[in-house]
Chains A and B, each alone.
Chain A
Amino acid sequence: MQEKALKAREKPAALGPDLDIKSFTRDVKSWPNCPVRSLPKDIAQQSLNVGVRTDEKGRAGTYFQIDHSTVFGAVQKMFEGKAEIMSTEEALEKYDWMEDYWWKLVAVDVDKYTALAEFGWDKGYFIRVLEGQKVTLPLQACLFVSKDNLNQNVHNIIIAEPNSEMQIITGCAVHPNVQRGLHVGISEFFVKKGAKLTFTMVHNWAQNFDVRPRTVALVEDGGTFVNNYVCLKPVKSLQMYPAAYCKGVNSRARFNSILYGTKNSYLDVGSKVVLQGVGSRGEVTTRAIASDNAQIYARGLLVGEQEDSKAHLECRGLLLSDSASIHAIPELVAKVKGAELSHEAAVGKIAEEQIQYLMARGFSESEAESLIVRGFMDISIFGLPNQLQDEVKKMVDITTARAL
């Protein structure tokens, strides 16, 4: 593993601006373990903004990491024996079988960021729901950066055992003092037979922050993987292209992304679904808004490798400024006949007739615009349970209201 990683140490990523890893620091004090409720107010507030509640209200369990330290990781009492949540470091010590999941979906030598996560590994979360268990409340995880110019490299493992069901909400956030930094996140998802996993990730980075997540999911027979992503705050550069392999018969994968690019943000976000199982289905839905000088690349790739497989890709982009840009790149690759792949993409500014229509209902021009923009970022596409949907909607509404 180390040998492979060593070879990829200088290898730039296929997409996104190349970063000088050495310009970030790895030197940071460690945080002690503590009850998640006792975290300082400013950290609690920032984590709440990405959907992670330090009061744990309405959550089945929590993982909280600050910089390189795991601060907290446990499920609530009523979910003990159903689900577990801890750092991947602890999980590797606890379970021999972790070797079967570690670096099994994401290759360590993809690029210098995966290599970095091997050499400079800073924990990450391990979340597992046991066979047949349906966890009724969302599990939550927060990856927090408190020090300026820090490099944080997490490696997460998420396992939905056969016929289990779970919702996960994860948030990445930085302390208001943090301007610059590099976050690398390796995530490997295992959705086993008949399991259903909905993963919702909210990112709130800083204007000079660089982010390189590397994510792969494997979906077995009858399994469903839903990956929701929300990015609302400015970020210097974010490049990711998560992939889901629908290997099982009747397996399903869905990627929903809401990207709100502001200021000088560079967002290069793709979603890839590979249909390998008979009857597998994929769906990619992206809503991208670019304002100020934001540059957004919205990519999508559907690969049909099996007969009787079907997938659809939909990308809508809304341009709010003349100096911003949205580049939609939908790709379809059919390798066998009987793989049915389709896409639709539309990029443009707000239609004048929509504004006029709403003004004819008494809204001012700016009210009409904000209504249309908020409507555009319609999080009902995520298919979340009501309470979580309300929480995420609130986050989106607050950010949009501020941005407009």
Chain B
Amino acid sequence: MKLNSAFLTHDDNGQKLIVSTGASKFAGLVRSNEPAGFIIGCLEQETTLSEITEKMAARYDAPKDVIERDVKNIIDQLRKIGAIDE
């Protein structure tokens, strides 16, 4: 999976934003906290749920199942606005 090409990431004073281009039906922006920003950063290249979970586990001190649940949750929210290419 990967971030859809109608969505861009942009750095706003250290905070990661997702902004839709005019090609998307979603016309808004998504602000993220640091871990969500990290997940979004992973999605800039083709990746998988387990790959992102691995990278998150190497970065954050939390049980893997909790991390995987959180990653899934973020991806589901992005999916809802059409930001994920499967």
Answer yes or no: are A and B bound together in one complex.
no
